[in-house]
Amino acid sequence: MHVELEHVGHRFNRSAWLFRDLSLSLHPDRLYALTGPSGSGKSTLLSIVSGHVSPAVGWVRRIGVSRVQWVFQNPFGDPRRSVLDLVCLPLLSLGMPRRDARIAAATLLDEFGLAEHAMSRFSTLSGGQAQRLMLARAISAQPDLLLVDEPTAQLDSQTAETVIGALGRLVSRGAIVVVATHDERTVRACTDSIELMRSTR
Ligand SMILES: Nc1ncnc2c1ncn2[C@@H]1O[C@H](COP(=O)(O)OP(=O)(O)OP(=O)(O)O)[C@@H](O)[C@H]1O
Ligand SMILES: [Mg+2]
């Protein structure tokens, strides 16, 4: 399993190129930091790697990748659903029995420091809690390829360590993980880095 980008470039309409001629391979067991100044195109590149956006030029090939999860920079979810439900749903859709799904979801929530909010509605969470929940949910879907946008931006250093640890565990189970981040500590925890430059517009 791997992801290949060949001569990928992107710009919106006729604006300046965000990035051009980007060729790289993404492999399992690696944790990639995607860095670059605000507006350099990190979130855009994640949307291209995930397959939701086609690059203006170049090719992206996801070889042997069957499950892709993308955790957005700004979390959103059904405001009325409980935290536990939101993490259970991907497990149920993988065919796990309800009882087992609830146990697995509760374990994940505990890992992300959200156990005490299991029965809360999504709308009552803080920004950092909501983003951790979206990450827990994405991990519960057992992705081969996980793209995470600024997972530690809203977190204190101890909670950020928890999130980085969870990403590391997913990587060690054979996933490809790419993290767009401005956070130096997160960059240091990654095994590889992909750096975008400031746009020339
Ligand atoms: N759908 C869109 N249509 C037009 N322009 C867009 C669209 N999405 C992003 N852009 C522009 O592309 C540029 C790159 O945006 P992007 O969100 O990828 O940057 P980023 O590196 O993730 O920034 P940040 O660090 O602030 O999250 C920005 O100038 C943005 O305004
Ligand atoms: Mg972004």
Domain assignment of residue 97, given as a range:
80-141
In a domain, 66, yes or no: no
Q: 41 alpha carbon to ligand 2 midpoint, in Å?
A: 7
64 ligand 1 Cβ < 6 A: no
| pLDDT at 154 (0 to 100) | 80
Q: Where does the pLDDT of residue 133 fall: very low under 50, low under 70, confident under 90, or very high at 90 and above?
A: very high
- Rounded CA gap, 115 and 156, in Å? 18
Which ligand 1 atom lies nearest to the CA of residue 150? Answer: 27
| pLDDT at 73 (0 to 100) | 84
73 ligand 1 Cβ < 6 A: yes
In a domain, 125, yes or no: yes
Write the Ramachandran bin of 77: left for phi over 0, alpha for psi from -120 to 50, otherwise beta.
beta
In a domain, 25, yes or no: no
Mean pLDDT of 124-135: 91
- Counted domains in the chain: 1
- Rounded CA gap, 192 and 180, in Å? 12
In a domain, 147, yes or no: no
Q: What is the pLDDT of residues 7-42, one digit of tens each?
A: 999 999 888 999 999 999 999 999 999 999 999 999
In a domain, 105, yes or no: yes
What percentage of the chain reaches a pLDDT higher than 90? 79
